């Protein structure tokens, strides 16, 4: 007997669509299954002003294949020169849903990020006032700090002091990777939430390093040891409203991943829902999947949940391509390392 599961149409609360030929290649992979996505602003140059966000949104909508309904939720890239009035107008008009904080140098295309957190204090205070959420890449960049500790040190040195100083600021810890991060979110009030990626629910650091280095499992924050993965799975499948899906699907071409200094980022848009259904099924938590992919995110962002639905069907393992071809070059798809039995029913 085939098993089916009908859910409200999911949203992706952390997505990289890039621009140009790459965007044209990856956008349908998301728009096929997701109603909305928070679109990350780390283009080169970054999406800094309301005008930048408006133009980028226009390019996304123009690249959307006919027949696919998809709403990009835009973000601004916080810099030390961000104008609070421009941000306020962009938020009030509904153009942007959030602002993104990258510590300078923390990750892909973060060179224009924040170096001195005091300099952005007035902008963050304004965001607290107007209720605009701050999405955070939560890793310190201090070269002294081990790369596996950069998230927990960020919580202690930056995030916790910031939230104490501006308690009304609504914060999303993006792509959470540690047990300490999970515990910090669980111990906080409703002004803090976290996105969790499919890959951090599936791989640990052994997958990256044992038996040869696997560039397609390299992303930031880097996957941690197995104990952390288990905490992430338990948080994501718990139904706790503070945890929701942000795929962090981050395409780079294969030549840019498979080289002496490979880019950070895992592309997962195509098989995200199959991966998640497999993980939730394995935990006996299919009844919590809708909360994670379609209810908790909109609730945090103050948006209605989608009315449309999708149906997942369980059957023989679903074949996915190893890579998708884009006008910018081939992009390898995340390989969970186990068969995926759930697929999204074509409508």
Ligand X SMILES: NC(=O)N[C@@H](CC(=O)O)C(=O)O
String marking each residue 259-298 x if it binds ligand X according to CB under 6 A:
-----xx---------------------------------
CA distances for 211 relative to 103, 172, 207, 258, angstroms: 32, 35, 9, 16
Is 248 a binding residue for ligand X by CB under 6 A? The answer is yes
Compute φ and ψ for 101, nearest 5 degrees.
-105, 115
Q: Which is nearer to ligand X, 5 or 232 (CB)?
A: 232
As measured in angstroms, the least distance from the Cβ of 197 to Zn ion is: 8
Distance CA 46, CA 40 (A): 9
Distance of CA 267 to the CA centre of its chain: 11
318 binds, among ligand X, Zn ion, none (CB under 5 to 8 A by kind): none
Q: Is 268 in the site for Zn ion (CB under 5 A)?
A: no
341 assigned ligand-binding residue: no
Query: In sequence order, which residues have a C-beta less than 8 Å from that of residue 230 and are 6 or more positions away?
Result: none
Q: Which is nearer to Zn ion, 24 or 151 (CB)?
A: 151
Smallest separation, CB 40 to Zn ion (Å) = 5
Binding of residue 162 to ligand X (CB under 6 A): no
By C-beta, is 37 or 123 nearer to Zn ion? 37
Task: Sketch the per residue contact string, 99 through 128, with Zn ion: x for CB under 5 A, - otherwise.
Answer: --------x---------------------
248 binds Zn ion (CB under 5 A): yes
Applying CB under 5 A, among 137, 207, 288, 314 the residue interacting with Zn ion is 137
Question: Rounded to the nearest whole angstrom, what is the least distance from the CB of residue 25 to Zn ion in the complex?
Answer: 18
Residue 264: partners with Cβ closer than 8 Å, 6 or more residues away: 107, 108, 218, 219, 220, 222, 250
Cβ neighbours for 297, distance < 8 A, ≥ 6 positions apart: 11, 13, 195, 244, 245, 246
CA-wise closest residue to 106 among 143, 134, 161: 143
Check the annotation: does 100 bind a ligand: yes
Residue 264 annotated as lining a ligand binding site = yes
For 252, the 3-state DSSP assignment is coil
Report how far residue 258's alpha carbon sits from residue 215's, in angstroms, rounded to the nearest whole number: 6
Among 35, 140, 169, 250, binds ligand X (CB under 6 A): 250
Which listed range, 89-97, 101-109, 123-131, 267-275, lies at the site for ligand X (CB under 6 A)? 101-109
Give how many residues touch Zn ion by CB under 5 A: 3
Residue range at the interface with ligand X (CB under 6 A); choices 24-32, 67-75, 103-111, 318-326: 103-111
Task: Report how far residue 52's alpha carbon sits from residue 16's, in angstroms, rounded to the nearest whole number.
Answer: 16
Q: Which of 12, 240, 248, 335 is catalytic?
A: 248
204 annotated as belonging to a binding site for a ligand: no
Nearest to residue 217, comparing CAs of 185, 252, 168? 252
Q: According to the annotation, is 81 in a ligand binding site?
A: no
Binding partner at 35 among ligand X, Zn ion, none, C-beta below 5 to 8 Å by kind: none
Q: Can you give the three-state secondary structure of 273-307, one letter per residue? A: HHHHHHHHHHCCCHHHHHHHHHHHHHHHHCCCCCC
- Told to judge if 281 belongs to the known catalytic residues of this protein, a careful annotator would answer no
How far is Cα 263 from Cα 193, in angstroms, rounded to an integer? 27
Gap between the Cα atoms of 266 and 257, Å rounded: 10
Write out the binding residues for substrate. Answer: 16-18, 42, 137, 220, 252, 264
- Residue ranges binding ligand X (CB under 6 A): 16, 42, 107-109, 137, 219-220, 248, 250, 264-265
């Amino acid at each position: 007997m085939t098993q089916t599961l009908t859910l409200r149409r999911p949203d992706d609360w952390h997505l990289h669509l890039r621009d140009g030929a790459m965007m044209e290649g990856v956008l349908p992979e998301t728009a096929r299954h997701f109603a909305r996505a928070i679109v990350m602003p780390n283009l080169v140059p970054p999406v800094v002003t309301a005008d930048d966000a408006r133009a980028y949104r226009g390019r996304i909508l123009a690249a959307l294949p006919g027949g696919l309904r998809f709403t990009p939720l835009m973000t601004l890239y916080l810099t030390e020169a961000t104008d609070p009035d421009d941000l306020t107008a962009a938020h009030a008009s509904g153009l942007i849903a959030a602002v993104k904080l990258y510590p300078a140098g923390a990750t892909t295309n973060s060179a224009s990020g924040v170096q001195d957190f005091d300099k952005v204090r007035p902008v963050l205070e304004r965001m607290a006032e107007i209720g605009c959420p701050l999405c955070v890449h939560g890793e310190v960049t201090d070269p002294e700090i081990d790369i596996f500790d950069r998230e927990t040190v960020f919580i202690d040195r930056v995030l916790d002091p910031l939230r104490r100083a501006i308690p009304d600021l609504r914060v999303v810890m993006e792509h959470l990777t540690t047990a300490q991060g999970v515990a910090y979110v669980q111990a906080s009030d409703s002004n803090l939430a976290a996105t969790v990626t499919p890959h951090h629910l599936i791989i640990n650091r052994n997958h990256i390093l044992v038996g040869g280095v696997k560039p397609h499992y390299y992303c930031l924050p880097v996957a941690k040891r197995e104990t952390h993965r288990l905490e992430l799975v338990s948080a994501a499948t718990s139904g706790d409203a503070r945890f929701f899906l942000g795929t962090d699907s981050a395409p780079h071409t294969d030549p840019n991943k498979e080289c002496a200094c490979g880019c950070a980022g895992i592309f997962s848009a195509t098989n995200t829902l199959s991966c998640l259904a497999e993980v939730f099924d394995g935990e006996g938590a299919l009844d919590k999947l809708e909360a994670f992919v379609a209810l908790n995110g909109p609730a945090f962002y103050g948006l209605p949940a989608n009315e449309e639905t999708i149906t997942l069907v369980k059957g023989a393992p679903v074949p996915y391509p190893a890579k998708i071809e884009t006008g910018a070059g081939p992009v390898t798809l995340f390989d969970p390392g186990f068969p995926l039995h759930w697929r999204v029913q074509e409508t």
